[in-house]
Amino acid sequence: DVKVTQSSRYLVKRTGEKVFLECVQDMDHENMFWYRQDPGLGLRLIYFSYDVKMKEKGDIPEGYSVSREKKERFSLILESASTNQTSMYLCASSLSSSRQETQYFGPGTRLLVL
Amino acid sequence: QQQVKQSPQSLIVQKGGISIINCAYENTAFDYFPWYQQFPGKGPALLIAIRPDVSEKKEGRFTISFNKSAKQFSLHIMDSQPGDSATYFCAASMFGGSRLTFGEGTQLTVNP
């Protein structure tokens, strides 16, 4: 079974702090994704990566950056957290960058920025 | 802008009833349409998916109906059960691409 793990289930941070969200997948997947989930807005793609050190902006990249130094790990960075970044953050992975594969999601990190 | 529009936002159905969730898209380059199911405290998981070369796909109690000319697709849950209570997301992606565009989500409650 594919397993996608996220470093924290709940996180409370203060405005202006630098925040790191970590995601690890154990199935040698090429693609990794970061989404945020907000009620009534669905899942919105922040960034994705199709290979180590490669990244592409999603629909809402402003205020975020990402890092993928190893194939299994994809980090989301909030350089200076703001209250409007309070949300549920979901990481996902899929096998191949060239095919429409199932995305496997982690359990999510609920971030509260005070 | 939301390229995939989903309705209703919430749905309450009695046990044994039929649950219907609808999605509409605008981008004619979309050619893969999955549905994801999310239980509280969990990440979404693939439920069923369809490609536009067929008009319907059925897996157990779950059916996707696809209308290419109307650019609409829907999820039907037959004999709905309380265990089906979850949030459902439709999504779409383009040929050769792995990036999904999700709808807004539908919170389904099936009353016993």
CA closest to A104 among chain B residues: B45
Whether the CB of A45 is below 8 Å from some CB of chain B: the reply is yes
pLDDT tens for each residue of B62-77: 999 999 999 999 999 9
pLDDT tens for each residue of A65-87: 999 999 999 999 999 999 999 99
Residue B93 bridge partners (DSSP): B32
Q: Strand pairing of A109-113 and A10-13?
A: parallel
**pLDDT value at A20 more than 80:** yes
Task: Please answer yes or no on whether B44 and A105 come within 8 Å at the CB atom.
Answer: yes
Q: Name the pLDDT band for B96 (thresholds 50, 70, 90).
A: low
- Residue A97 is predicted with a pLDDT of 66
Contacts of A31 in chain B (CB under 8 A): 98
In angstroms, the separation between the Cα of residue A13 and the nearest Cα of chain B is: 21
Q: Provide the percentage of residues in chain A whose pLDDT is more than 90.
A: 87
pLDDT tens for each residue of B24-76: 999 998 989 999 999 999 999 999 999 888 999 999 999 999 999 999 999 99
Among A residues 55-84, those touching chain B with beta carbons less than 8 Å apart: 58
Whether the CB of A94 is below 8 Å from some CB of chain B: the reply is yes
- Residue A96 is predicted with a pLDDT of 81
Task: Please answer yes or no on whether A96 and B97 come within 8 Å at the CB atom.
Answer: no
**pLDDT value at B2 more than 80:** no
Do the Cβ atoms of A68 and A58 come closer than 8 Å?
no
What's the rounded Cα separation, in Å, for the pair A111 and A109? 6
Average pLDDT over all residues of chain B: 94
- Residue B97 is predicted with a pLDDT of 73
Strand positions, DSSP E, chain A: 4-6, 10-13, 19-25, 31-38, 42-49, 56-57, 64-70, 73-78, 87-94, 104-105, 109-113
Q: Name the pLDDT band for A14 (thresholds 50, 70, 90).
A: very high
CA closest to B10 among chain A residues: A40
- Residue A34 is predicted with a pLDDT of 98
Task: Please answer yes or no on whether B44 and A43 come within 8 Å at the CB atom.
Answer: yes
Contacts of A103 in chain B (CB under 8 A): 46, 98, 100
